[in-house]
Structure 1
Amino acid sequence: MRQATPLLESKVQLIYAGGTFGSYGRPLAPLDADLFLPILQQLINEQEPSIPLPAVSWLNNLLIKDSSQLTPSDFVHFYKLLLAAYTAQNRRFVLITGTDTLSYLGAFLAEAFAGSDICVVVTGSMKPLLDSEQWHNYAIDSHSDAWDNLSEALRLAAAGESGVKVCFGGESWPAQTVQKIHSHDFMAFTGHNRAAYPANSYIRALPDSRRQHWLEDQKALTDDIESRAEWVAVHALYCLPNDPSILNSQLQSLLAQPPCGIILLGFGAGNLPYSPALAKTLSQAYENGHMVISASQCPFGGVSDSYAAGSWQYDYQVIAGGRLTIAAIYARLLWLLLRYDAPARRRQRWAHNVNQAGTTIKKR
């Protein structure tokens, strides 16, 4: 077998996408990239030799916005940006973004780059990098988490382990396991390292022929993916202690839309209030090409079919979300909707992915 040719390893490529990390002043507002990036590069260069950081270069990114404003088209933008750099034989990247949708973007990139040997580390901060009390020069805020997060992310990327990871608060996890658990604490995220797909679908080092084949497959679909991103939709229906007719009417309102993703956020292990009308609507959603995924409102544990209050839905073509987080379910739905044009193919790929993760609920 032909051996893999090493990709360019001299530098970590850094992508700045906005967020709290680059905010400054009173009130806080993002600095323009033309101003902020030279400051950040200078701060990196000035660090003590005793704690060296990897050399960095910059990927030119024109999409800098608050992460709460990101859309599927924006997610595709970052996918294309990284894909182009990876095609140009770069492999190690750090992406700085806002924390509101950091877990969603990270999980999406994990789905999109499965099967490659790319190394992407996503990070951000809960406080800005720069001290807004110092107006005469730009200096690192010693009370911020930004510099530590960036330093750890750069070192992690320099190590070059294949996959997409999130690095935050002194820890790192496979991106598709990560969720935000606190709105302002430095330990804002958590995750785990027990994930299967797509973490185990990354290749340590791809032979040239396999990398080229992977790239050709991806680039052949880029135009379609970009076009679908303009209309694709993933909806979340949050179950509350209401009459089932409320949930049914919410679901009914989505039936006439083009095939989309629908996340049912159930109680506990995915329990839903039952009604014959809701069961019929779930079947109609399947017949119309929608993918309905069962998820739990609980941050940990996922869904199961142990309770009759939840197991009934799987008889009406609802797909179990397993132990996936809400962000990971959104990301997988989004990627499948972008990547495949046939509802049957999307469901087939979902079943394969969940089986790889070791958690699946079979239709009875």
Structure 2
Amino acid sequence: MQFVLIHTGGTIGMAETPAGLAPEQGLVETALEAALGPDTTLVSHVFDPLLDSADVGPGHWNEMLDVIRSHPGASVIVTHGTDTMAFTGAALAQALAGEERRVILCGSMHPLGTGGDAEENLSLAVEAATRTESGVFLAFAGKLLEAGGLVKHHSHEVDAFRAQQQSSPSAPLHRRFAERRLAILTLSPGMPSAMIEASLSQLDGAVLRVFGSGTAMADPSLLKVLADAVRAGKRLRAVSQCEAGGLAPGAYAAGAGLWSTGIENGGAQTPEAALIHLWLN
């Protein structure tokens, strides 16, 4: 059986140095080879330089997609830092929709060789990669989570991730990530509409995190900014600031102004999933 390792970086592949934790070449590859059985072949693609996940972006997602697609039929394990794991999970899940691939993301809160969670997570990733069900998953803290709707809900605990149920992604219009100026913007009480207007002037589109099940401030200037952006061809997609439950346009009168602007309904999408949706569709 052939396995493909895409090692991007992250805590799982770090070691102590006099300056603190830093990436160590070969650490993940050696650990994975030891975890695999004798009848397997490992092909490794290691990012150079190794990345802190805070630096991961569309170009890196394209690199991962190129490697995955260049090894049809192989099971793929992607080792990755936890801070932007939810973005990469959504990116791979949506971009690979319909391609019948199995990809397992893996990371850890503690490095390999420190008595923490890394070895257990990597072992779970290996076991998960041998299954036949297609999809993109995260192996973490003894759980296999669908990666399209990941939420990192704790910044320190080993059990750091949850997964929110997402609609099955349809085949995207675009299979790679092109240059687009997109961002996630969060509404907050008292936010000046001029700030949103200035942000949107620099963007091709945005995910807007709104209140509850789909409400926003009844500020005419804000609603005009959103409506003008939509009329100008900017893609605006709303999601809830709540972790679970999603949006229900029309549930509250306070949301009428927001939905009259023509903003898209992101439903139960996480902000990360909604951002990837804008990138690919």
Do the structures match in fold with TM over 0.5? yes
Offset of residue 240 of structure 1: 1.6
Q: Would you say 1:314 and 2:259 are equivalent positions?
A: yes
Richer in helix (by share): 1
**Amino acid of the structure 2 residue aligned with 1:298:** C
Residues 99, 181 of structure 1: alpha-carbon distance in 2 compared, 3 angstrom cutoff? same
SS at match of 1:82: helix
Q: Give aligned pairs, total.
A: 277
**Amino acid of the structure 2 residue aligned with 1:76:** N
Map 1:194-343; keep pairs closer than 5 Å: 194-198=165-169, 225=176, 228-229=178-179, 232-242=180-190, 246=192, 248-257=193-202, 260-305=204-249, 306-336=251-281
Residues 74, 253 of structure 1: alpha-carbon distance in 2 compared, 3 angstrom cutoff? same
Root-mean-square deviation over aligned CA pairs:
2.4
Is there any run of 5+ residues in structure 2 with no aligned partner, and where? none
User: Which of 23, 27, 31 is the equivalent residue of 2:24?
Assistant: 31
SS at match of 1:17: strand
Q: Would you say 1:166 and 2:138 are equivalent positions?
A: yes
Richer in strand (by share): 2
Deviation string 1:86-145 (CA, Å, 9 cap, x unpaired) is xxx3331111100001111011111101111111111100110123xxxxxxxxx2xx11
Offset of residue 42 of structure 1: 5.2
Counterpart position of 1:123: 106
TM-score (norm 2): 0.89
User: Which of 3, 7, 13 is the equivalent residue of 1:16?
Assistant: 7
Q: Would you say 1:179 and 2:165 are equivalent positions?
A: no
Is there any run of 5+ residues in structure 1 with no aligned partner, and where? 1-9, 46-51, 132-140, 203-216, 337-364
Residues 42, 105 of structure 1: alpha-carbon distance in 2 compared, 3 angstrom cutoff? closer
Deviant stretches of 4+, over 6 Å: none
Residues 171, 41 of structure 1: alpha-carbon distance in 2 compared, 3 angstrom cutoff? closer
1:56 and 1:128 mapped to 2: Cα distance?
Answer: 24
1:254 and 1:53 mapped to 2: Cα distance?
Answer: 54
Whether the 8 Å CA contact 1:94–1:157 is kept in 2: the answer is: yes
Offset of residue 180 of structure 1: 0.6
Counterpart position of 1:83: 69
**Amino acid of the structure 2 residue aligned with 1:126:** M
**Amino acid of the structure 2 residue aligned with 1:113:** L
2:256 and 2:40 mapped to 1: Cα distance?
Answer: 53
Residues 40, 91 of structure 1: alpha-carbon distance in 2 compared, 3 angstrom cutoff? same
SS at match of 1:294: strand
TM-score (norm 1): 0.70
